[in-house]
């Protein structure tokens, strides 16, 4: 028996947090207003491409990235009014659920692109660029995402195209509205079986139903004398349609078993026809005055029933609520499945889900590590002693690893181990960057290059003077050359630091200076140079013994005087 949804939808939370996001180009968002953004693109060669940049701008916005997400999708056959329904949902969300959310009778319907006619309008998957923040009755603020999908089985799409778009939207959404015209026929259930086959195999691995809420929305229902319009009549109708009896053919029984086994919540709503003016007027633009009153009355029941805060289903995978940041990872993992030439084996969804699950856990752990390390040594924080930095890193690293281990993950421990190792490697690489950032705050570390060059200049100056005085002109010339080179290097380094140009050359100078610095302290360097000078003086005495012997007494007499 299909499970019912709560029909008492009268508790609305705050919807005051509206955000208009900054888009990277004026071409994408010319007037700064929210609009539908195509995130899944179906190409002419029937391959799929995910616009990760556009999706990231929506899901990684500061206000929503760490909020638990409610993803609502409308899917079904093409030219059956999916986008038309989505725009009424937008009106409800923007009106903050006021009684007059339907708007004025003369107001055209805007939002997701829609039109009358027999040709398809929406392609791929579109997401409304503004994510709505809604307060649940328990006080939690959740992010509500509205998705519109390409209609199935149009004249330009292959079976693979239709199956992929429907399956992907079902995998991503927490509430999938299956938009059906007039009746729930056996072929509708068989098409749904194709998509739920992915969930059936995944369920055998995880012992959990892979999808959440499925709402059968039957449009243009023509038999209200059998089952009345609305949710109550819809549940009675759906219970009869999905009933499994012994005299049914095995194939029909399997279809119904699949559907029951793949969704945690199944419900149905019967809607009347909107009227002939809507169906036959080519210039119809959504004005309420042209829609039948009976349709409007039930629309005022349907939309609040779907979108009331008390009944918004947060996206869950493997028993854990998903944030907008996590949903982005799942989106990217799932699309990889469908970028091949053939429909994937359903079990590959489990592998992709496990991968995305582990990647989301890695992202959460890294986010914790980065936030805590920023408090310790990031930004304007003063220089921290290296041993204290190492101790803080060790503690925060262990906390991050515990966050990863604490997340419920699919795929088993063996599968997760490589992601744990990846996390450890990435944290250690990030720590190296924090060490460099911390060292840059050390005034002595920052002055190491000019100090080293000054020492070289001074030592070469003294060495050139001594060797010139004792007559070793070759050595003196070499010292003078090194002195000049060091002086030019110092001036070059100062210009690079001042102008910000030729940074690669500046990095080479810093590396050379660091190598000289690491060879020993300044005193050790001077000691080595002194020994070298003494060695050269000894060689000089051996080279000119006569001159040395004659000059020694005279030098002694001068000292006595």
% of the chain at pLDDT higher than 90: 20
Cα Rg of the chain, angstroms = 36
Residue partners of 175: CB distance under 8 A and separation at least 6: 70, 71, 72, 73, 212, 213, 215, 306, 312, 313
Are the C-beta atoms of residues 219 and 182 closer than 8 Å to each other? yes
Strands 211-219 and 175-181: parallel
Q: Tell the residue number behind the tokens 């856990």, with chain if given.
A: 361
Element (H, E) at 212: strand 211-219
CA distance 155 to 120: 9
Q: 151-173 burial, b if ≥16 CB within 10 A, otherwise e? A: bbbbeebeeebbbbbbbbbbbbb
Q: pLDDT digits over 227-286, tens only?
A: 999 999 999 999 988 888 888 788 788 888 878 888 889 999 999 988 887 777 777 777
DSSP secondary structure letter of residue 68: B
User: What distances in angstroms separate CA 192 from CA 49, 152, 239, 511, one per listed residue?
Assistant: 24, 11, 16, 63
Name which of 66, 93, 26 is nearest 328 in CA terms.
66
Q: pLDDT digits over 279-318, tens only?
A: 777 777 778 888 889 998 999 999 999 998 888 989 988 7
Q: pLDDT digits over 187-197, tens only?
A: 778 778 776 66
Give the end-to-end CA distance of the chain in Å, rounded to a whole number. Answer: 123
% of the chain at pLDDT higher than 70: 76
φ/ψ of 118, rounded to 5, equals -105, -5
Classify residue 559 as exposed, middle or buried by CB count within 10 Å of its CB (0-12, 13-18, 19+): exposed
Q: pLDDT digits over 449-505, tens only?
A: 787 878 888 888 888 888 887 877 888 888 888 888 888 888 887 877 777 777 777
Residue 532 has a CB neighbour count (10 Å cut-off) of 13
Give me the DSSP letters along 429-461: HHHHHHHHHHHTT-HHHHTHHHHHHHHHHHHHH
CA distance 195 to 167: 5
Q: Residue 437 has which token pair?
A: 């950032």
CA distance 502 to 508: 10
Are the C-beta atoms of residues 227 and 236 closer than 8 Å to each other? yes
Q: What is the pLDDT of residue 327?
A: 92
Q: What is the pLDDT of residue 107?
A: 84
CA distance 529 to 549: 26
φ/ψ of 98, rounded to 5, equals -70, 165
CA distance 495 to 506: 9
For the segment 312-331, the average pLDDT, to the nearest whole number, is 89
Residue 27 has a CB neighbour count (10 Å cut-off) of 7
Strands 36-42 and 48-50: antiparallel
Q: What is the pLDDT of residue 31?
A: 53
pTM: 0.61
For the segment 401-406, the average pLDDT, to the nearest whole number, is 90
Per-residue pLDDT for 352 more than 60? yes
CA distance 390 to 435: 9
């Amino acid at each position: 028996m299909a499970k019912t949804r709560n029909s008492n939808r009268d508790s609305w939370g705050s919807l005051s947090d509206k955000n208009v996001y900054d888009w990277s180009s004026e071409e994408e968002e010319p007037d700064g207003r929210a609009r539908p953004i195509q995130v899944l693109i179906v190409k002419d060669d029937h391959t799929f491409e995910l616009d990760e940049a556009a999706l990231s701008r929506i899901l990684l916005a500061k206000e929503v990235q760490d909020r638990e997400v409610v993803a609502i999708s409308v899917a079904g056959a093409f030219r059956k009014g999916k986008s038309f329904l989505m725009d009424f949902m937008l009106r409800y969300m923007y009106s903050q659920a006021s009684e007059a959310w339907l708007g004025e009778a003369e107001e055209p319907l805007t939002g997701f692109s829609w039109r009358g006619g027999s040709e398809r309008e929406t392609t791929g998957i579109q997401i409304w660029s503004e994510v709505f923040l809604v307060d649940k009755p328990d006080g939690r603020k959740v992010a509500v995402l509205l998705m519109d999908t390409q209609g199935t089985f149009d004249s330009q799409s292959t079976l693979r195209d239709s199956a992929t778009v429907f399956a992907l939207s079902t995998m991503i959404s927490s509430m999938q509205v299956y938009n059906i015209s007039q009746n729930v026929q056996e072929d509708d259930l068989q098409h749904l079986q194709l998509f739920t086959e992915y969930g059936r195999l995944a369920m055998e691995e995880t012992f959990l139903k892979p999808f959440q809420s499925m709402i059968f929305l039957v449009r243009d229902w023509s038999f209200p004398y059998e089952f009345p319009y609305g949710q109550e009549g819809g549940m009675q109708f759906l219970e009869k349609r999905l009933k499994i009896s012994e005299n049914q053919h095995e194939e029909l029984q399997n279809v119904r078993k699949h559907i029951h086994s793949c969704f945690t919540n199944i419900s149905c709503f019967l809607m009347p026809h909107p009227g002939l003016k809507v169906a036959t007027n080519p210039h119809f633009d959504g004005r309420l005055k042209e829609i039948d009153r009976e349709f409007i009355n039930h629309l005022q029941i349907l939309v609040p029933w779907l979108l009331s805060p008390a009944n918004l289903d947060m996206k869950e995978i493997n028993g854990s609520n998903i944030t907008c940041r996590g949903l982005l990872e799942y989106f990217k993992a799932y699309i990889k499945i469908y970028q091949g030439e053939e429909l994937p084996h359903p079990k590959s969804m489990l592998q992709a889900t496990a991968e995305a699950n582990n990647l989301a856990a890695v992202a959460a752990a890294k986010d914790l590590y980065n936030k805590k390390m920023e408090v310790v040594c990031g930004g304007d924080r003063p220089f921290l002693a290296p041993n204290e930095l190492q101790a803080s890193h060790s503690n925060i690293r262990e906390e991050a690893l515990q966050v990863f281990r604490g997340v419920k993950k699919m795929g088993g421990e063996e599968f997760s181990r490589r992601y744990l190792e990846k996390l450890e490697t990435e944290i250690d690489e990030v720590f190296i960057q924090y060490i460099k950032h911390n060292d840059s705050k050390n005034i002595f570390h920052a002055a190491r290059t000019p100090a080293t060059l000054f020492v070289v200049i001074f030592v070469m100056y003294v060495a050139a003077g001594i060797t010139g005085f004792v007559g070793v002109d070759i050595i003196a010339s070499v010292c003078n050359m090194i002195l000049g080179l060091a002086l030019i290097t110092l001036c070059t380094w100062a210009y690079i630091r001042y102008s910000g140009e030729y940074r690669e050359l500046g990095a080479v100078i810093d590396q050379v200076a660091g190598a000289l610095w690491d060879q020993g302290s300044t005193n050790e360097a001077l000691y080595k140079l002194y020994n070298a000078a003494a060695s050269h003086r000894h060689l000089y005495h051996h080279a000119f013994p006569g001159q040395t012997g004659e000059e020694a007494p005279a030098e002694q007499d001068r000292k006595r005087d």
